[in-house]
Chain A
Amino acid sequence: MLNNSSIFLDYASTTPVDSRVIDVMLPYFNQSYGNSSSIHRMGQQAENALEESRHTIANIIGATDKEIIFTSCGSESDNLALRGVAFAQRENRNATHILISAVEHHAVSNTAIQLGELHGFDIETIPVDQYGLVDPEEVKLRIRDETAIVSIIFANNEIGSINPIHEIGEICRSLSVPFHTDAVQAAAHLPIDVNSLNIDLLSLGAHKFYGPKGVGALYIREGTPIIPAQTGGGQEFNLRAGTHNIPLIVGMSEAFILAQSDHDERNNHYSHMRDLLLSTISETILETRITGHPSKRLPNHASFAFHNVDGNTLLMMLDAAGFACSSGSACKTGSPEPSDVLLAMGLPPEWALGSLRVTLGQQTSSEDLENFLDTLPNLVDKVRQLNETN
């Protein structure tokens, strides 16, 4: 019964830190541990590591060094982007309209909600299609003179769908509205060039691509109006106060190099397994829908909705059976609420409560997947039986 070994199929939630990343981080904990703001040589070493890391990341995404701001995580990057730009735009030109999509990560949607409720911004939500994708024309229709920022997620965490970022960016560029995208999921798998994609602000989080937790970055195109969301010392070009976490920043940089090299080879490997998941589960389990786009989705990401299944119970049973998965929206309190993202795609609640996200990673083997595919139908049956008896 209780399987004490666990197969991790939840790489969209987080990833193990690559051992090569750990190696480059270690010296910065207790050897080159200086404060990058200090005058002395220890400080200079730290500053050098910081700036090298910044340069590495900037180089990969086509940015200049001073366009990269280190933060503590993807959520903080989202917060800085939305708050920083919204307040600056209101200050500069009384622009108080914020456009987000209906499938944003909570770091964006809840930030926007607070900007609306407490600070008087006008928040408008762009609907998505049945795959959770934003139509660029819908963005164009909604941009107004007083639009302060547009924020559209690059690839959604719950359903893996990849938005037409290039086209949306083009529209924002032509109408001179700053365009932010949360690329926290996308950056682990997709090549990112902020120039060809017309991106003005882009959020990254290291732990999604085999880097450490607790570090992220925000790309801010030069000239974008923004004020700091966290004030204090003058770090990060006066945009993000706080002593630099050098070991984590160095780790993020190293992890990003690894993530952004050899995409194709890795993605082929993932997408083959992903497609096997999508097709097999659709075939073997009755009343199953694939959530998100069938092909315009992250290569490692498969997600489903099962009719009349309590998604949380299914996750617990999977865990007891030795498989760590997710429903896409973390809920550990035992109070199930249907996911906003799935509802926004038009999924009825009795489907939206039964969601399952299976995300693959470097450690996932075909054998793991076979075991998973053998186990899942039986567990879905059991949860459905529980639903019936109660």
Chain B
Amino acid sequence: MSGGVDSSVAAALLVDQGFDVIGIMLRLWSEPGQESYNRCCTPDAMALAKQVAAQLEIPFYPIDAKNVFYDQVVELFIDDYVQGITPNPCLRCNRHIRWEFMLNHALAFGADFMATGHYARIQKKSDRIQLRQAVDLTKDQSYVLHVLDQEQLSHARFPLGEYAKQEVRQLARDFNLPVADRHESQDLCFLGDGDYRDFLTRNSSQAITEGKILNLDGETMGEHDGLAMYTIGQRRGLGISSGTPLYVIDKDTERNSLIIGPKGHLYKQKMWADIVNWVSISPPADPFQARVKIRYKSPEEPATIIPLGTDKVEVHFENPVRDITPGQAAVFYEDDICLGGGIIRKSS
């Protein structure tokens, strides 16, 4: 329970359905001095979560996860930027913090299931449990949940999967929860109010090593402030004047160089991903058609998925796709079933 609308309504729905419910809040890591900005576990958020738990007459336990969150999420977030890739820390948080650390706690408390306020659905199909998209596709969070395994899914409950966000807000009002009008948390919790660039500047000198901006022919076009400060597809803020608009096409970590070029080079037809987790199906042997999301909020693109062993894939898009970003997850869908996903390594 984060004190937000979603987890509060999820808890209320479970209580309503007659479950014995325990509320758990994770106390996550905040940058020293920024504790009151952390989006998911400020003292205010905790006060709200407690209030909701008290109203629902369920016990509420805040669990310290600072160290494990720092080690498994924040440190790797910084490392990834140092490596020149753009991480999605929510994936590691779901894999290691929510669905490992917190699930282990919940099970140790004697729980049979752990429910979260995620928008997603699960369905048992013969011998496997499938992860499905939420009814409200604009809120669907199966993208970050693709990291779960069957054991984790067997304990998972997503009470909000059948509801639209507006319905959830209405439920919060119907349940008379004090959180109905709380605004959405958007950014990464541990960045507080700041930008990830400021965070990196404060926390990793390595991630902000200045270097050269090169064009596609390898000619020096200018200086960059550190590869981590740029995203693939970025156009503004490069400090380079040119007749045709220039975009960040790639990051060459070997040479600490930012590669820029015209828009056409942003479109790629192929990409490769590893650390693939097949959440809803057995690892496939043969190529198959699926829709692919290359970022949490990107549209689904039709593609052919070619398995390379059990945990790597090559992806051929039907149409060229813009801004494929190493470090983000590629997640595969068939109908509303989230088949699995992995981490994008490169594209061409």
> A residues engaging B (CB < 8 A)?
1-2, 4, 310, 312-313, 316-317, 319-321, 332-336, 382-383, 385-386, 389-390
Contact = CB atoms under 8 A, between A and B. Distances in A.
Of the candidates B43, B108, B111, B112, the one having the most CB atoms from chain A within 10 angstroms of its own CB is B108
A336 B64 contact: yes
Q: 4 closest A-B pairs (Cβ-Cβ)?
A: A334-B62, A1-B110, A334-B27, A2-B20
A385 B110 contact: no
B110 A2 contact: yes
Interface in B6-46: 20-22, 25, 27, 43, 46
B63 interface: yes
Given A320-B22, A383-B108, A390-B101, A2 B62 contact: no
B68 A316 contact: no
A317 B106 CA distance: 9
A321 B112 CA distance: 14
Contact of A386 (B20, B62, B104, B111): B104
Given A2-B22, A310-B64, A320 B104 contact: no
Nearest to A382: B108
7 contacts: A1-B111, A2-B59, A317-B110, A320-B61, A320-B109, A333-B43, A333-B46
A2 B27 CA distance: 22
Interface string B59-75: 10111101010000000
A321 B104 contact: no
Nearest to A333: B62
A319 B59 CA distance: 9
Contact of A320 (B64, B110, B112): B110
A336 B63 CA distance: 9
Given A1-B20, A319-B59, A312 B64 contact: yes
B20 A334 contact: no
Nearest to A381: B108
Contacts of A1: 20, 109-112
B27 A333 contact: yes
B197 interface: no
B293 to A, nearest CB: 30
A390 B20 CA distance: 26
Contacts of B66: 335
Interface in B97-125: 100-101, 104-105, 108-112
A321 B110 contact: yes
Given A316-B109, A320-B22, 16 more contacts: A2-B21, A2-B22, A312-B63, A312-B64, A313-B63, A317-B109, A320-B59, A320-B110, A321-B110, A333-B46, A335-B64, A336-B64, A386-B104, A390-B68, A390-B100, A390-B101
A2 B19 CA distance: 10
B307 to A, nearest CB: 31
Contacts of A335: 27, 64, 66
Nearest to A4: B20
Interface string B203-231: 00000000000000000000000000000
Contacts of A386: 104-105, 108
B23 to A, nearest CB: 11
Contacts of B104: 386, 389-390
A11 B105 CA distance: 27
Contacts of B110: 1-2, 317, 320-321
Given A333-B46, A334-B25, A389-B104, A316 B111 contact: no
Nearest to B20: A2
Given A1-B111, A317-B108, A386-B105, A334 B59 contact: no
Nearest to B19: A2
Contact of B63 (A319, A320, A334): A334
Interface string B135-161: 000000000000000000000000000
A385 B108 CA distance: 9
Contacts of B25: 334
B137 to A, nearest CB: 35
A336 B68 CA distance: 14
Contacts of A385: 108
A320 B106 CA distance: 11
A312 B22 CA distance: 16
A334 B64 CA distance: 5
Contacts of A317: 108-110
Contacts of B100: 389-390
A335 B108 CA distance: 20
B108 to A, nearest CB: 4
B64 A316 contact: no
A169 B25 CA distance: 47
Contacts of A336: 64
Contacts of A332: 62
Contacts of B108: 313, 317, 382-383, 385-386
Nearest to A312: B64
A316 B46 CA distance: 16
Nearest to B64: A334
Of the candidates A333, A336, A383, the one having the most CB atoms from chain B within 10 angstroms of its own CB is A333
Nearest to A310: B64
